[in-house]
Structure formats: C-alpha cells, structure tokens
C-alpha cells in the first residue's frame, strides 16, 4: 500500500479557525493545527450553530447558491445563510 503524508491545513481553514477561536475567546490546540483533517474536526466541533439548531450554511453552499442567484436573478433569503438545510432546499428548488 502507498503511504501518504497527512496534508497541512489550508489557508482558508486556518483563517476560519482563527475567526471561530476569537469569537469563542479560546485557543486552537497545537495538535489541531498539524493536519487538515485535525483542523477540520476542530472546526466542526466549534463552528457556530444556527438559531434553529442546525448547522449554518457552508461556504460551498453559499458560493453555489450565489452563482444560481446571479444566473437566475433571484435573491437568496437571509434565513438560508443561517441554516444549511434551508440553503440546500433553496438550491434544489432553483437549479
């Protein structure tokens, strides 16, 4: 089998993790900064939850929805940005 070295965190991951850490007034553990997977796990555990209890829309969802919005010239409702499930439904209904 091939041995693969763990990938380092991306700049986007590091920036997002720092925003979360500042918001929570906490430090990011050194072990979480060593690999992409470790930092991703830390982010998932600490990222803000939407007010409805679900996850906030991901950056990929937002980017895709904004692309659809530009093409179809339709506004994305504000609540979609706060709830990944709502954003997913908006995307599905506007593809």
> If you average pLDDT over residues 11-25, what whole number do you get?
88
Mean pLDDT (the chain) is: 87
pLDDT at 50: 53
Domain locations in the chain as residue ranges: 11-46, 59-94
Query: Which range, of 3-7, 24-28, 33-37, averages the lowest pLDDT?
Result: 3-7
pLDDT at 1 over 70: no
Element (H, E) at 77: none
pLDDT at 57: 86
Torsion angle of C-alpha atoms 11, 14, 16, 20, degrees rounded to 10: -170
| High-pLDDT (> 70) share of the chain, % | 91
Return the structure tokens found at 46: 């600490």
């Amino acid at each position: 089998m091939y041995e693969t070295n763990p990938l380092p965190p991306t700049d986007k991951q590091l920036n997002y993790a720092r925003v979360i850490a500042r918001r929570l007034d906490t430090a990011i553990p050194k072990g979480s900064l060593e690999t992409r997977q470790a930092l991703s796990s830390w982010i998932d555990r600490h990222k803000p939850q939407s007010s409805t209890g679900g996850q906030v829309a991901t950056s990929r969802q937002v980017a895709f929805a904004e692309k659809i919005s530009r093409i179809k010239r339709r506004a994305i409702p504000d609540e979609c940005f706060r709830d990944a499930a709502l954003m997913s439904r908006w995307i599905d209904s506007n593809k």
